[in-house]
Amino acid sequence: MDGQAQFRPHQELGDLFKAVQVAPVFPDSKTFPDCVPRSAPAEILRAYAQEKDKPGFDLKAFVLRHFELPPTPGNDYQADTSQPVTDHIQALWPVLTRQPQQQKGSLLALPHAYVVPGGRFREIYYWDSYFTMLGLQESQQTQLIQNMVDNFAFLIETVGHIPNGNRTYYVSRSQPPFFALMLRVLAQQKGQQILSTYAPALEKEYAFWMDGAQNLTAQKPAFRRVVLLPDGNVLNRYWDDDPSPRPEAYKEDLEVARASGRNPEEVFRNIRAAAESGWDFSSRWFLDGKSLESIRTTELVPVDLNALLYHVEVLLADMAHLRQDKDQERAYRAKAEKRKKALLAYCWNPTEQFFFDYDFVRQKLSTHPTLAAVTPLFFCMATKAQARGVARKLERDFLRQGGLPATLVASGQQWDAPNGWAPLQWMSIQGLKAYGQNKLASTIAWNWVNQNLQVYKQTGKLTEKYNVEKPATQGGGGEYPNQDGFGWTNGVLLKLIKQQQRK
């Protein structure tokens, strides 16, 4: 990557960056980090130092003079709601596709075309892309799937892991490791042998998540993303290497840290770790179960992250099998089996008959039930009895007329009730089907599809999240308004509709 690729606005713009974000000059904190400087940052800073204390200095006018604003989210795409929603989704793929381009500002250039979620999300997002690919697969967009997989392999090679998104301000963290699942989709399209091509990339990503595992001790049981448990097993947590406010939510993070009364770096680290989880934000990560100020993401061993890494180990074993490397295959199968046993031991609550995150600091299970509990079913790790327990709780406590909420707590955060999200519906439905819970799976699928269709007929839009407790209602809460587009909603909806049509 060229020098411009490394433009990090929060570092290179110093006091100007802080002034713009704290003011705030723009209503959305993500706008300024996405701006492109019209000249070298050092020149802009010199001009700022000369002008800022002069009478009548206008910060916004200064920014508009020295920076090119990012494209505003396009809300002008008009859907013909008399057409089937499947036609609408097919028409949206080109709208959401971005071609490779020269490095601009904080955007990391990618070698191939890719699909963005939509709205304020003008770049790729790691875990979103897997669920988008499910729809691309139904649309026979095999080349675009290949392009996106190759982009992620490129990021692993150049950055060392897949960042949250292709922005310089995202590189200190990743997102839930779905690359292995993307490879499964590509292999379904192109044959199993193609998996071997991506073994080096997947091994490198796995090494990123497991960094430091060999050096953990009882005195230092956690390092970056690995955690040593009392019985000697190693599981994973979410983390971010940078304990500062997120550039794209700078003012918001400062305010949370101030209100918390805690060490600001500790708060920033936990906020960023929750951003790595994709669940930003949720009562799932809050010690008191209700307020962002009590966030403690890094103290939890998340059930979904460890189920995903189990699948990474299984796929690495499958790749070794394809190249007839029996030693490697045995080693990865042993790792996967060990992780599975540890996850079932630490994250299963036999009284509740449900999976929970494990609080390794307090050495006890979290008491906040969330839809992350479905991931051991999605990856076929759970026993039949455990799957029955999860299904019972989903039907009794989670099932709503529009699908499943992320949690049972209405905290005002977006990854809490009453919001439902496409990726969690998909994993719940597929996980239940894997254990023969077909009636409940069908009910969830029908409720979710119906909710999506009702909002589409009313608004002509497919949105990021939905309020599953009220008919025809979009989601809300969190740091920014509900976004239109929307990559993973389109992918999951198209997949579910096509599955129904094939029955």
The string of pLDDT tens digits covering residues 193-245 is 999 999 999 999 999 999 999 999 999 999 999 999 999 999 999 999 999 99
Q: What is the pLDDT of residue 73?
A: 67
Q: Are 284 and 407 within 8 A, CB to CB?
A: yes
Whether residue 443 is found in the same domain as residue 484: yes
Query: How many structural domains compose the chain?
Result: 3
Structure tokens at 503: 């029955």
Q: Are 142 and 179 within 8 A, CB to CB?
A: no
Whether residue 459 is found in the same domain as residue 399: yes
Whether residue 92 is found in the same domain as residue 203: yes
Whether residue 90 is found in the same domain as residue 204: yes
CA atoms of 417 and 494, how far apart (whole Å): 24
**Phi, psi for 370 (deg, rounded to 5):** -140, 165
Whether residue 206 is found in the same domain as residue 89: yes
Half-sphere exposure of 302 (CA within 13 A, CB side): 28
- On the question of pLDDT at 5 being above 60, the answer is no
Whether residue 25 is found in the same domain as residue 100: no
Tell me which DSSP letter residue 4 carries. Answer: G
Residue 344 falls inside a structural domain = no
Residue 161 falls inside a structural domain = yes
Note down the domain range covering 17: 9-68
- On the question of pLDDT at 6 being above 90, the answer is no
Whether residue 121 is found in the same domain as residue 56: no
Residue 303 falls inside a structural domain = no
Q: How far is CA 278 from CA 3, 31, 178, 328, 384, in A?
A: 29, 20, 12, 31, 28
HEC-encoded secondary structure of 23-87: CCCCCCCCCHHHCEECCCHHHHHHHHHHHCCCCCCCHHHHHHHHEECCCCCCCCCCCCCCCCHHH
Residue 77 falls inside a structural domain = no
Cα dihedral 180, 181, 186, 190, rounded to 10, equals: 80
Closest CA to 469 of 445, 456, 451: 451
Q: What is the pLDDT of residue 482?
A: 85
Is the pTM of the predicted complex or chain greater than 0.85? yes
Cβ contacts of residue 180 below 8 Å, gap of 6+? 202, 308, 311, 312, 315
For residue 347, give the H/E element and its range: helix 326-347
- The 10s digit of each residue's pLDDT in 326-367 is 999 999 999 999 999 999 999 999 999 999 999 999 999 999
With cut-offs at 50, 70 and 90, classify the pLDDT of residue 2.
Answer: very low
With cut-offs at 50, 70 and 90, classify the pLDDT of residue 76.
Answer: low
Query: In whole numbers, what is the pLDDT of the chain averaged over residues?
Result: 96
Whether residue 62 is found in the same domain as residue 96: no
Domain boundary among 210, 225, 241: 210
More confident residue, 273 or 75: 273
Whether residue 205 is found in the same domain as residue 88: yes
Whether residue 193 is found in the same domain as residue 115: yes
- The 10s digit of each residue's pLDDT in 438-473 is 999 999 999 999 999 999 999 999 999 999 999 999
Residue 60 falls inside a structural domain = yes
For residue 223, give the H/E element and its range: strand 222-223
Catalytic positions, written as ranges: 280, 464
Residue 456 falls inside a structural domain = yes
Whether residue 167 is found in the same domain as residue 191: yes
Whether residue 135 is found in the same domain as residue 17: no
- On the question of pLDDT at 77 being above 90, the answer is no
- On the question of pLDDT at 107 being above 90, the answer is yes
3 state DSSP class of 188? helix
